[in-house]
Amino acid sequence: MISVIIPAYNAENTILRALESLKKQTRLDLITEIIIVNDGSTDQTEELINSFKSKNSQMNILVINQANSGVSVARNKGLHESKSEWVALLDSDDEWLPNKIEIQWDYINKNSNIDFIGGNHIESPLVILGKKVTTLYRPSIKDLCIKVFPQTSTVLFKRQIFEEIGGFDISRSYCEDAQYFYKIALNYGYYYIPEQLSIYDGGKQGFGSSGLSANIKEMNNGMKMNYFELYEQKHIKLSFFLFILVFNELKYWRRILLARLAK
């Protein structure tokens, strides 16, 4: 039914929180395997994972150790090893709310058009240019350029997608998840639901806090690369391409200001 993929790098402070959130799922029966890709951690991540695995033998946990290669390589390794019809992603510093899988599974059973489904990671509703999203929603590629959503740890999608279009771009270190989501949205039933499904990094804001997202400048450059790709592939027109470049630059300076005020 569902394979869960967790890339982990030096996650000794958060990995158990992520795993416990899996264990508390109200539909744990739908999770057939948990694939943890230890991406060359140099702290106690591996030991903590193995300890959790030994204490929870009822959970089918596969641990893959590899040299540090980046999150995209780790996710792709997990996708390649997965065997279930559906795949869920969970980052090692995030956690799922207990009914995450149950909520998504109910939507999938009620709508056969869903190939990919994600949800909210904060309590406040998603807003796109002033419009609140309060129901099951299929975004346009323009929507996703204006605001990248859903957050990666909320997504659940058919493994068939990976088989047909491949995985994450391993040459990219920033905004590779948005790039991958664009590909899916352009070719499959890509849906968003308003319910909160996860908690991002203990409840921090989604940028400027930690990890790769802390480098706001590189994130900005990564999004520009995504827009150039969409324009070159004729998925967006010149007028929108120019608009989104300006819009993205304004978001960049706003994030710089918010990050400084938060210190």
In the chain, pLDDT over 70 holds for what percent of residues? 94
pLDDT at 100 (0 to 100): 98
Give CA–CA dist 114/116, Å, rounded.
Answer: 6
Q: Beta 156-158 vs 31-39: how paired, if at all?
A: unpaired
Domain ends where: 203, 230, 248? 203
In the chain, pLDDT over 90 holds for what percent of residues? 86
Helix (H) or strand (E) holding 121: none
Instruction: Read off the CATH number of the domain in which 39 is found.
Output: 3.90.550.10
- In this structure, the answer to whether residues 232 and 196 fall within a common structural domain is no
pLDDT at 261 (0 to 100): 79
Q: Which residues pair with 85 in a beta bridge?
A: none
Model pTM?
Answer: 0.92
- Ramachandran bin of 259, using left for φ above 0, alpha for ψ from -120 to 50, beta for the remaining angles: alpha
- In this structure, the answer to whether residues 197 and 91 fall within a common structural domain is yes
Domain of 12 in residue numbering reads as 2-203
- In this structure, the answer to whether residues 129 and 217 fall within a common structural domain is no
- In this structure, the answer to whether residues 179 and 214 fall within a common structural domain is no
Give the Å distances, CA to CA, from 253 to 177, 236, 245, 257. 22, 24, 13, 6
- In this structure, the answer to whether residues 199 and 258 fall within a common structural domain is no
- In this structure, the answer to whether residues 199 and 220 fall within a common structural domain is no
pLDDT at 214 (0 to 100): 58
Domain ends where: 182, 203, 224? 203
In the chain, which ranges are E strands? 2-8, 31-39, 61-66, 86-89, 95-96, 116-120, 127-128, 131-132, 156-158, 190-196, 198-199
- In this structure, the answer to whether residues 174 and 69 fall within a common structural domain is yes
Nearest to 190, CA basis, from 180, 200, 203, 205:
180
- In this structure, the answer to whether residues 155 and 186 fall within a common structural domain is yes
Q: Give CA angle at 262 (260, 263), nearest 5°.
A: 70
- In this structure, the answer to whether residues 22 and 110 fall within a common structural domain is yes
Over residues 102-127, the pLDDT tens digits come to: 999 999 999 999 999 999 999 999 99
CA neighbours closer than 13 Å in the CB half-sphere of residue 80: 11
What are residue 186's phi and psi, to 5 degrees?
A: -75, -15
Residue 210 has pLDDT above 60, yes or no: no
What is the total count of domains within the chain? 2
- The whole-number average pLDDT for the span 43-61 is 97
- In this structure, the answer to whether residues 194 and 235 fall within a common structural domain is no
In 18-76, which ranges are E strands? 31-39, 61-66
More confident residue, 31 or 260: 31
pLDDT at 209 (0 to 100): 41
- In this structure, the answer to whether residues 135 and 215 fall within a common structural domain is no
- In this structure, the answer to whether residues 139 and 253 fall within a common structural domain is no
The span from the first CA to the last CA of the chain, in angstroms, equals 43
Range name among 34-43, 182-191, 246-255 with the lowest pLDDT average: 246-255
pLDDT at 257 (0 to 100): 82
Answer yes or no: are the C-beta atoms of 63 and 52 closer than 8 Å.
no
